[in-house]
Amino acid sequence: MDKAKFKKEVLSYCLVILGSMLFAVGDVMFVNPYHLAPGGVYGLANVFNALWGWKISLAGICMDIPLLIIGTIVLGPRFGVKTIVSVILIPIFTFVLESTWGYKPVIYDGEFMSEATHTALSFMDGDVERYFMPDFFLNTVVSGIIYGVAIGVIFRAGATSGGSDIISMIVHKYTKISLGVLVLIVDSCISLTTLVIGNIRLPIYSIILIYIESKIIDLIVEGFTTYKTVFIVTDRIEEVKNFIINDLERGGTCFPGIGLYQGQERRMIYVTLDRTDLVKLKSCIRTLDPHAFVNVIESSEIMGLGFKALPQEGE
């Protein structure tokens, strides 16, 4: 292994460690005290903890093992090694926090109380049950950000945090659907299990948490730059083409087409741009040909010359 590849591997494992630690922090210190279940095996582990007092770390790793075996077979041995590291580290970090911090909330509205009310939540402080006034919305937002950064960092390392993430990445491999969207679908179904705790607000806030998490995952995995794919039909095709090449310094494709209504031959430009260049292009077209037809499509992933590099074999 050359030096550059070795550094890349070391960085990826450091990202796995960081993401696993953040995941444990988000689960034990923010998600569990509010009895939320933002999908995955650790979402189910939180439900089991609320119902029967099971350790989150123990329940999580017991459910992760069969899914990990499937993920290693489908996604490859190298991917499986990093996932094994993540699956081992998350319950270790979770167990350490359970043993030291406990299940005390970080965010709450009001002091701890000695008696429960209909709006209070509780956690065990040793053998003593403590109560607090929850701030569901703020805690949900913070939890979603922490979870999203944690899982996004792990994904960027070429691994997964296990559980439903393995399912999401397997589907992503064959469909290329956004990882954030897949996490949203799979984990929303798991979040509905919080209904057994008996509070309708729990699955609602859990799904909001998952939505925030999915958006953060997409930002981490796909980057902050968004691209638009544009199809242009205009009578000023040469002027628009020159503007794209000379002013925007972008390439594109020009191909012939036939209009359905009049059967007239027209040429169409296909080009992919970032948001800033799209604004410039629309202004140019509006000046050159106000009657032009422009179709703008959201592009979730662009690979090739001038954009993200094509994946290497095995990635």
Confidence of residue 169 (pLDDT cuts 50, 70, 90): confident
| Residue 311, pLDDT above cutoff 70 | no
Query: Do both 120 and 62 map to the same domain?
Result: yes
- For residue 267, list its beta bridge partners: 256
- The tally of domains found in the chain comes to 2
Query: Do both 128 and 218 map to the same domain?
Result: yes
Considering the domain boundaries, does residue 305 fall inside one?
Answer: no
The span from the CA of 57 to the CA of 62, in Å, is: 9
pLDDT, averaged across the chain: 86
pLDDT digits (tens, 9 = 90+) for 261-291: 788 888 899 999 888 888 899 999 999 999 8
Confidence of residue 16 (pLDDT cuts 50, 70, 90): very high
Look up tokens 């491999």; give the residue.
Answer: 173
Considering the domain boundaries, does residue 24 fall inside one?
Answer: yes
Share of the chain above pLDDT 90, in %: 42
Mean pLDDT of 138-144: 96
Query: Do both 16 and 108 map to the same domain?
Result: yes
> What residues contact residue 213 under an 8 Å CB cut-off, 6+ apart?
38, 144, 145, 147, 148, 151, 180, 183, 187
The span from the CA of 159 to the CA of 167, in Å, is: 12
Share of the chain above pLDDT 70, in %: 93
Mean pLDDT of 100-113: 88
Query: Do both 192 and 241 map to the same domain?
Result: no
Considering the domain boundaries, does residue 315 fall inside one?
Answer: no
Query: Do both 192 and 153 map to the same domain?
Result: yes
The pLDDT score that the predictor gives to residue 306 is 66
Query: Do both 131 and 278 map to the same domain?
Result: no
Q: Of the residues 177, 206, 222, which one is the last residue of a structural domain? A: 222
Considering the domain boundaries, does residue 309 fall inside one?
Answer: no
Considering the domain boundaries, does residue 192 fall inside one?
Answer: yes
- The boundaries of the domain holding residue 143 are 3-222
The pLDDT score that the predictor gives to residue 312 is 62
| Residue 147, pLDDT above cutoff 90 | yes
Q: Among candidates 54, 82, 83, 56, which has minimal Cα distance to 68?
A: 83
Mean pLDDT of 163-186: 77
Considering the domain boundaries, does residue 98 fall inside one?
Answer: yes
Mean pLDDT of 13-31: 96
| Residue 37, pLDDT above cutoff 50 | yes
Q: 92 and 21 in contact (C-beta within 8 Å)?
A: no
Q: Of the residues 196, 222, 248, which one is the last residue of a structural domain? A: 222
Confidence of residue 170 (pLDDT cuts 50, 70, 90): confident
Query: Do both 240 and 294 map to the same domain?
Result: yes
Query: Do both 245 and 104 map to the same domain?
Result: no
Lowest mean pLDDT among 108-117, 121-130, 265-274, 298-307: 298-307
Query: Do both 121 and 64 map to the same domain?
Result: yes
| Residue 108, pLDDT above cutoff 60 | yes
Read off the CATH number of the domain in which 284 is found: 3.30.70.120
Q: Of the residues 222, 245, 263, which one is the last residue of a structural domain? A: 222
Considering the domain boundaries, does residue 161 fall inside one?
Answer: yes
Q: 233 and 214 in contact (C-beta within 8 Å)?
A: no
| Residue 84, pLDDT above cutoff 90 | no
Query: Do both 197 and 233 map to the same domain?
Result: no
Specify the pairing of strand 128-132 against strand 227-233. unpaired
Query: Do both 207 and 247 map to the same domain?
Result: no
Mean pLDDT of 212-236: 86
Considering the domain boundaries, does residue 163 fall inside one?
Answer: yes
The pLDDT score that the predictor gives to residue 314 is 47
Lowest mean pLDDT among 69-73, 85-89, 92-96, 304-308: 304-308
| Amino acid letter, 297 | I
- Provide DSSP, 163-196: THHHHHHHHHHHH---HHHHHHHHHHHHHGGGGG
| Residue 313, pLDDT above cutoff 60 | no
pLDDT digits (tens, 9 = 90+) for 178-223: 776 887 787 778 888 888 887 888 999 999 998 898 889 888 887 7
Mean pLDDT of 28-44: 92
Query: Do both 162 and 32 map to the same domain?
Result: yes
